[in-house]
Chains A and B, each alone.
Chain A
Amino acid sequence: MKARLVLFGIGALGFAAVWFAGARKLDPMGSYHGAYGEILNAVSVPERHSTNVVSAVNFDYRGLDTLGEEFILYISVVAVAAILRKQKDEEEEDEDEAPTQLREAPDSDAVRLFGVGLVPVTVIFGLYMISHGSVSPGGGFQGGVVLATVPLVVYLCAGAKTYLRIAPPALAKGGEGLGAAGYALIGCLGVLAGKKFLENVVPLGTPGEAWSAGTITLLNLTVGVAVGTGFVELISSFVEELLRKAEK
């Protein structure tokens, strides 16, 4: 134990010395020497009608990278679902196991009232974030996760049966595939129009309005669907056996 601390101390001192030496020569906050950022700031609104430059980069100028990220998430969700799935021999084991507590609606009025207040606000905030990705900070990814917390609140406040009603597993699985495929299909619009894959060929609209920036907004919608349903699918596969009891 002591030797470990001494070893850590030596390493930490060395790290601190190098870190302070490096940090002293750092430029002050906000200074920027690259050209790429300045160019994007200048061209994003006139070229793509997107007032959120980050979205313009993620879903247009570097749209292909985001397609890759979309599939990283997709594969992760598939992997979790595959690892957590019930196998035949496990199923038989389950028959004689102690009954796991099924999540019923809680007795407390305060919890239910909290859920009633929280759900609509979260739904609206999530939809707003997805649909306004090209205008203000946020976008499909952030909004999708916000939306995915809604079934979780419902699960905690209204029980497993209501959860299954608003987020049936088939819907979550279908939405995940549809969202991921939608991104690639919107990318194909550019090819169909005789231009490049993921080229922004949809009418751009007025900068600052929700329906603007062409494919940037459309791609945000598909990402929102994919991420939202993907996270719901994750939650479902973790509480799967409880949900299956609720189905009976």
Chain B
Amino acid sequence: MIAPLQWLLFLLLAVTGPAVVLTREPVAQAVTVSFYGIVLALVFFLHQAPDVALSQIVVGAVALPLMILLAVAKVKRKEASRK
């Protein structure tokens, strides 16, 4: 029962991983990396590691994209004030 789900998630990983790399715009990349983080968390959860899955969700899908967005927002503010 688990095997088909596993393959589906591995396939999603194989798609979302390169998608993060191929997204060149930082704001859009924050969204793709967040999606990639959720897929990775599901892989952990499916392999019976709920603790790791939770950590992955809060770090990979929440904290990391948040920090990227905040950093981009700060850089853009600086640039706007320079002009």
Closest residue of A by beta carbon distance from B56: A142
A145 touches B59 (CB 8 A): yes
B55 near A: Cβ within 8 Å?
A: yes
A234 near B: Cβ within 8 Å?
A: yes
Interface 9-residue window, one of A14-22, A133-141, A187-195, A204-212: A133-141
* A139 vs B77: C-alpha distance when bound (angstroms): 36
B81 touches A152 (CB 8 A): no
Nearest chain B CB to A160's CB is how many angstroms away?
A: 13
B70 touches A142 (CB 8 A): no
Choose one: B54, B74, B82; the contact of A238 (CB below 8 Å).
Answer: B74
Looking at chain B, what size class is its interface with the partner chain? 20 to 34
Closest residue of A by beta carbon distance from B74: A238
B63 near A: Cβ within 8 Å?
A: yes
Nearest chain B CB to A43's CB is how many angstroms away?
A: 18
Q: Which residues of B contact A137 (CB under 8 A)?
A: 50-51, 53-54
* A84 vs B77: C-alpha distance when bound (angstroms): 13
A113 near B: Cβ within 8 Å?
A: no
A127 near B: Cβ within 8 Å?
A: no
Q: Which residues of B contact A100 (CB under 8 A)?
A: 77, 80-81
B74 touches A142 (CB 8 A): no
A152 touches B55 (CB 8 A): no
Q: Which residues of A contact B74 (CB under 8 A)?
A: 84, 238-239
Closest residue of A by beta carbon distance from B45: A137
B13 near A: Cβ within 8 Å?
A: no
A142 touches B58 (CB 8 A): yes
B-facing residues in A40-95 (Cβ within 8 Å): 52, 54-55, 84, 94
Nearest chain A CB to B24's CB is how many angstroms away?
A: 15
A238 touches B81 (CB 8 A): no
B11 near A: Cβ within 8 Å?
A: no
Choose one: A94, A141, A152, A235; the contact of B58 (CB below 8 Å).
Answer: A141
Most buried by B among A55, A146, A238, A239: A238
Q: Which residues of A contact B62 (CB under 8 A)?
A: 145, 149
B81 touches A239 (CB 8 A): no
B70 touches A238 (CB 8 A): yes
Q: Which residues of B contact A238 (CB under 8 A)?
A: 70-71, 73-74
Q: Which residues of B contact A241 (CB under 8 A)?
A: 77
Choose one: B51, B59, B80; the contact of A139 (CB below 8 Å).
Answer: B51
Closest residue of A by beta carbon distance from B82: A97
- For B58-83 the 0/1 string (1 means CB < 8 A from A) is 11001100110011011001001111
Q: Which residues of B contact A163 (CB under 8 A)?
A: none
Choose one: B6, B51, B53; the contact of A52 (CB below 8 Å).
Answer: B51
What are 12 residue pairs bridging A and B, where the CB atoms are less than 8 Å apart in the complex?
A: A55-B51, A97-B81, A137-B50, A138-B51, A139-B51, A141-B58, A142-B55, A142-B58, A145-B58, A234-B70, A239-B73, A241-B77
Chain B positions within 8 Å of A, measured between CB atoms, are: 2, 6, 47-48, 50-51, 53-55, 57-59, 62-63, 66-67, 70-71, 73-74, 77, 80-83
**What are the 9 closest A-B residue pairs judged by CB atoms, nearest first?**
A137-B50, A238-B70, A145-B58, A97-B81, A54-B51, A142-B54, A137-B51, A142-B58, A138-B54
